Structure 1
Amino acid sequence: MNDIDGRVPPSAREITTGQANRVWSVDGPTPYILKHYGDPSRAANEAAALRLLATHDAPAPQLLAAYRYNTPPWTAQTALHANPVPADRYLEDLAEPLAAIHRIPGTHFGRLAGARQHRSWSNYLHNRLHTYATAAPTLRATALLLHQEVEAGEDSIQPVLLHHDLRPGHLLREPAGSRLLIDWELATFGDKHSDLGRLAVRLDLDDPTPVLALAARSDPTTESRIHLYWHIHLLADAALSTDPVVRERASVRLPRRR
């Protein structure tokens, strides 16, 4: 794949769907997906995640080439002959590939590359909550409540790989029936239940109960952790989203001091 240099070929077809990056489908002897990133740390993180996933034969695209120091930074990934899983089958079809991802052990807590690594899961969560409270001072009281919940919770979590951006459109089904997860730029090492809390936010649920079906076991401890992570990811949206509708929708679901 020496001919891939990050530039967009004239025949490329843009398939961008998000706001932060631009994506093209490139035809040729070996078709591929070219992705340009607005944030070099996300480019580095996705490349690191795809390399790790390849070593575990995990359900994801293969990384063909990458360069984070270009302007813009980019990755090239295998083109997939697959379609998004229908919404009414999403949770059922997600179970197997997600379990495979969560079996991959981590080496630290936090993003795989391009960001600070943390010594514990609670340290990572406290850092994220501080970031959200700094970005949105009006939400500091909510952030403090969540800080207290993190402090009171379990701190013996062993890190595993998280996708951390699960949503419809990021799970594909190949003609042979295999399911693949795409868009790994937010991949993180941490508690697998955090993936479920974030999924509940991305599915726009009023509570995370439906995603409990994806938990390996469901007991009061599991449910309380997923609720905590759901609230943390809601706080992230309320503090950092550039879409006022998303910010408001997240804000009204946040816990309030009694």
Structure 2
Amino acid sequence: MSHASQTSLEDLKRAIKGFVVMSEILEKVYHAFLNNQVPELWANAAYPSLKTLSSWVKDLEMRCAFVGNWIIHGLPKSFWLSGFFFPQGKGSYVNYARKHNYPIDHLSFKFNIVPVIRDQEIVTEQMAEVQKGESIQLDEELPVPPEGVLVHGLYMDGFSWDWKLMVVGDSAKGVMYSPLPVLHMDPVMDYEPDHSLYSAPLYKTSARAGTLSTTGHSTNYVVAVYLPSHAQQDYWIAKGAALLCQLSD
């Protein structure tokens, strides 16, 4: 066999081997589609999510729209915290520290409830109909805080919001998740939360568990949100009360 023929044969073997590998990948994607699951190939490059494929695609479209509207229309009046790839980011801390010349490692968030429920799906629909420089109707319901940011899109797991007492309360019968009102995340120097506040852990997904990062925190954990409560900490801890950035479906 000539050298040229041997080279062609080796190239053919490599091509066949590459085709087999690609076929295995595509087969996994195909089976994921059949089972309404997010393909592993996509999930490995995406944000943590437990959603089915159909819900995941809708969520992805909303995330893209959220960022796109931010670019076109400027800073949103309230940020969809669930739409961030890395919600643990400390951009608000950085802006506040630079503005007041404060050490960033002495800043913590004080959380104030804004009695408004803001649905990102409705926000996306309204934003699609406005022109540059215009505002949506939902923005009229929100105040403009002097410091910090407004965020929305969080869910309460194991408890709910008591609109009469304006504190956290027990979940309604048969209701597993309920929306948390808009949060005002207000940076404060050397903040010491009151003992009456419930320190609700915020997770990206309902799995709660995650891998341990170099910071010593779970990759699924975001931050502790201090919420007003008439019950002791142990009461809510026993119920497993926590906040979630997104639901499984």
Q: State TM-score, norm by structure 2.
A: 0.28
Instruction: Pick 1 or 2: higher relative contact order, CA cutoff 8 A, min separation 6.
Output: 2
Larger fraction in helix: 1
**Structure index of larger Rg:** 2
Larger fraction in strand: 2
